[in-house]
Structures are given as structure tokens and as C-alpha cells.
Amino acid sequence: MNKSILNKDLGRRLSGYAASAAALALIGTSANAQVIHSGPQNVVVELPDDYVEIDLDGDGISDFGFEMYSTGFYSGTASSFSYYNFNVGVVLNPRTDGYNNSWVAKTGVMSVQYYTYYKSTAYGLDMPMVAPLASNVAVDSSITYWGNVTTADYIGVLDYRWLNSWYYTASSGLIYYGMGEFAGESNYIGVRFHIGASVHYGWLRVAMAGDGSWLNIIDWAYESTANTGILTGDGSDNTGPSLSLSGVGASSSSELVTITINADEDIAALQSGDITVTNGTAVGVNQVSASEYEVSVQCNSYGVVTVSVGAGDAVDLYGNPSETAASISWTYYNLSLDMNTGEGISIYPNPVDNELFIELAGVADVSLISMNGSVVYQQERVTSHNINVSDFSPGVYLVQIKNDDGVLHRRVVIE
């Protein structure tokens, strides 16, 4: 699983894009003519007791509910006791009109050593787990195991976390137990729901934090033709964004430079931790639009500065990470290079028989010219540079330093 969608708490960062109840009705047709896709929604549900209802088709009737629920209880005496804490993420059917919307379930039930509580009801060992589905899985009438087929208020468990802290005479300890395949992952939930009296198939894509503390309902889709199956992910965007960086040329004397980051689609809020700067510091990130950001970079020392956004560090509104890195580099130079006095220019050793070292306090073009006027070596836009002169004929040469301010020559002897 990519680091961006889970380790960086993308669900929290995307929650700013969560659709309002009114916007949930504004769903349109995807490139697949019969598949209706929600677009990015990113509805975040958190512990200890957040609850949200999802209207898949925008008809004003809630089709599925999601809750992150936490409860606990204490048993024992002062000298011997146990405290049990239960965190559970569930999906349920909020309808009260007799239509039992359902979800693809695992073929077994959750098995827990003690109790599994949801609200005030003890479900014991009989809580079916929701099946986590990968992309391109068929959700249709061929599926034989569905949750919530006959009981209107039945729940399906996405993930379950149980903590038992205990004390007995002079001993104490913690027991941690978890069950489910949603925590720390992004998965699809296959669903079957009703529009009127007709049965339709669909999917919801969700991502859950590794510790089970929040659930992000990213997007969903359904087949508009009754009793027609759908593939998980059908109608959605499954490709990550591409980035480009601009804002500076090959060199700059500015200590503070603004770099623009453009994406080919809307992305989640970039933060300074998503941006790597070599020989500098990202001192501010400003969001210009959903696909454009500006980064203020403080250069550290003269030389090459590089700004990059790594593969996976930019994520679109569906949680898809960027597949390739993007970067920009430039040379930060000092304006104190004086072509009249030679200040900021160091050429050594002289005489030289092997490596000639040229150190500049700014950017310039460097040439080595023989006494008959032939240019035997040339390099453009450098700061510090070495020239191997061992293959040149012995004699007197001119080192030419040239920039926009003028030309300076220094004589060297090659032995």
C-alpha cells in the first residue's frame, strides 16, 4: 500500500473535499455509459462515535450507513480487575422501509475470545465480516454470500480492535487483539441496494487508518441498469497525477526562490513534508488552486539547489499516488564576482601539469585559449570547475572567464 494514502493520514487531509449532503445528489455518468460514478467524495468518519449515511444514487434515500464506534466496560474488584475497550468500524442498512440493502461478506464470522459489543447489544461470536475487494472484481448475482439479507438492522464489521488491560494481585498487563482486513488498507466494498423496488449493484471505495481510528469513504459507483453487475473501480479514476515544477532558470542569485508545482489533475493538499529540498529549505507552501501550489525555497549556500516531489508523495482526490518523481534544479550564485578586479575568482595551481582548479563566486563561462588563439577547452555556466590539462601541449595559456558583466583573463603555464 502506498505511503501517501495511509501513513500520511490522507483521509484527514482529503476531508476538506468531502461533499455536502446536497452535493451527493450531483452524480454524473462516467465514460462507461451505464455506470454512475460519484466523483471524489472523501467522507471521513472517526472514533469514538462518528456516523454518516450515504445516498448512492442521489434519490434522497440513504442506502448505507457507516460508523466508527468505541465502547468499553470494567469488571472485577480493586485487587483483581479487567477493563475491556472495543473499537469497531461497521457498515449498516439505515433503511426502515423493508428493503434490506446488503454488502458482500466473508464466508465466515468474526471469532473473538470474549465479547463483541456494538451499541448495547452483545453479538457474541456471530458478527459477519465485510469482504475487502480488490479492483476489477465482479459484483453481481453470482455472489452467494451477502451480509444483511434478512435482518433490517444487521451490521457488517469492517475492522475490530479489542484492548484488555488487567490487574491480578501483583501482576498486570495489556492484551491487544485485532480482526479484519480494512485497517491500514484501501479496499472496495461490493454492495447490492434498491432504487424503488429494483435491485442494483455497486461499490464503495474506502481507506482505513492503520490503527482503525478513522475511515475515509473515497468514492462510489453503481450500475444504472437494474440486476446488472459492475466491476469494482469501474467508472473511477485509478491513475495518479503527473507533476511539473517551474519558476526559476538555470541559475539565480536570489536567496529566496518561489517554485510552482502544477499537477494535471486536482490533488490533495501538499505539505512541506511532501517536498524535498537539497541545499535549501521549504519555508512555505501556498495552495493557488486544487492543482497548483507555490513553494518558497530558502537557499542554503552557493551551488546547486534541487526541489523535488517524490513518487507517491502527491496524491489525487481518489487516493491515487503520483507514479514518478518531479524535480527542478538551479545554481545559486553570489553577485560578488567582479570582472574588473577579479574578486571572487580563484585559479590554481599555476604552473599546472595535471588538474587546473577554477573556483568562482558566481556563474560564468570558462574557456582555455592557447597563445595562437585556439580555444582548446570551453564550458558554459559553471561555478567551480576542474580542467584536466595533462594532454595539452606545455606552454602559456589564457583562462577566459566571461559573464554578462564582462570578460576577465588569467595567464597560466602548463608544464
Average pLDDT over residues 78-100: 73
pLDDT tens by residue, 263-288? 999 998 788 889 999 999 998 899 99
Could you tell me if 180 and 265 lie in one domain? no
Distance separating alpha carbons of residues 159 and 93, to the nearest angstrom: 17
Average pLDDT over residues 74-102: 73
Distance separating alpha carbons of residues 71 and 3, to the nearest angstrom: 30
Residue 278: Cβ within 10 Å count: 13
Could you tell me if 315 and 410 lie in one domain? no
The pLDDT of residue 239 is: 87
* Residue 215 belongs to domain spanning: 3-231
The pLDDT of residue 210 is: 81
**340 located within any domain:** no
**Highest-confidence segment of 10-14, 108-112, 215-219, 330-334:** 215-219
Percent residues over pLDDT 90 in the chain: 37
Average pLDDT over residues 327-347: 77
Distances (CA, A) of 157 to 197, 205, 245: 26, 15, 44
**194 located within any domain:** yes
The pLDDT of residue 23 is: 35
**364 located within any domain:** yes
Average pLDDT over residues 217-231: 94
Instruction: Assess whether pLDDT exceeds 70 at residue 152.
Output: no
Among 185, 207, 231, residue at a domain's last position: 231
Could you tell me if 192 and 323 lie in one domain? no
Residue 75: pLDDT band with limits 50, 70, 90: low
Output the 3-class SS for 179-232.
EECCECCEEEEEEEEEECCEEEEEEEEEEECCCCCEEEEEEEEEECCCCCCEEC
Average pLDDT over residues 119-148: 77
Instruction: Assess whether pLDDT exceeds 70 at residue 415.
Output: yes
Least confident of 114-128, 180-194, 288-302, 347-361: 114-128
Among 275, 302, 332, residue at a domain's last position: 332
The pLDDT of residue 335 is: 59
Among 231, 265, 292, residue at a domain's last position: 231
pLDDT tens by residue, 369-394? 988 888 999 988 887 788 999 999 99
Could you tell me if 322 and 349 lie in one domain? no
Could you tell me if 273 and 393 lie in one domain? no
Cell numbers of 304, please? 546547486
pLDDT tens by residue, 161-184? 766 666 666 677 766 666 778 988
Distance separating alpha carbons of residues 126 and 156, to the nearest angstrom: 11
Phi-psi category of residue 104: left, alpha or beta, with phi > 0 → left and psi -120 to 50 → alpha: beta
Least confident of 133-137, 182-186, 295-299: 182-186
Instruction: Assess whether pLDDT exceeds 60 at residue 17.
Output: no
**264 located within any domain:** yes
Instruction: Assess whether pLDDT exceeds 70 at residue 246.
Output: yes
Instruction: Assess whether pLDDT exceeds 80 at residue 84.
Output: no
Instruction: Assess whether pLDDT exceeds 60 at residue 414.
Output: yes
Percent residues over pLDDT 70 in the chain: 76
Could you tell me if 309 and 180 lie in one domain? no
CATH of the domain at 409: 2.60.40.10
Could you tell me if 57 and 190 lie in one domain? yes
Residue 114: pLDDT band with limits 50, 70, 90: very low
Distance separating alpha carbons of residues 323 and 265, to the nearest angstrom: 14
The pLDDT of residue 188 is: 96
Helix (H) or strand (E) segment spanning residue 260: strand 256-263
Check: CB of residue 131 under 8 Å from CB of residue 190: yes
**339 located within any domain:** no
Residue 294's nearest CA partner among 327, 261, 252, 254 is 261
The pLDDT of residue 77 is: 67
The pLDDT of residue 164 is: 65
The pLDDT of residue 1 is: 29
Instruction: Assess whether pLDDT exceeds 80 at residue 79.
Output: no
Distance separating alpha carbons of residues 90 and 157, to the nearest angstrom: 5
Parallel/antiparallel/unpaired status of strands 186-195 and 395-403: unpaired
Q: How high is the mean pLDDT of the chain?
A: 80
Instruction: Assess whether pLDDT exceeds 50 at residue 15.
Output: no
CATH of the domain at 272: 2.60.40.1220
The pLDDT of residue 183 is: 86
**363 located within any domain:** yes
Could you tell me if 224 and 363 lie in one domain? no
- 75 versus 70: the higher-pLDDT residue is 70
Could you tell me if 382 and 407 lie in one domain? yes
Residue 33 burial (CB < 10 Å; 0-12/13-18/19+)? Answer: exposed
Could you tell me if 271 and 320 lie in one domain? yes
Q: Identify residue 223 by its one-letter amino acid code.
A: E
Instruction: Assess whether pLDDT exceeds 70 at residue 242.
Output: yes
**173 located within any domain:** yes
The pLDDT of residue 251 is: 80
Domain count, the chain: 3
Could you tell me if 139 and 255 lie in one domain? no
The pLDDT of residue 3 is: 30
**275 located within any domain:** yes
Instruction: Assess whether pLDDT exceeds 60 at residue 149.
Output: yes
Residue 244: pLDDT band with limits 50, 70, 90: very high
Q: Is 0.75 surpassed by the pTM of this model?
A: no
Could you tell me if 368 and 324 lie in one domain? no
Residue 82: pLDDT band with limits 50, 70, 90: low
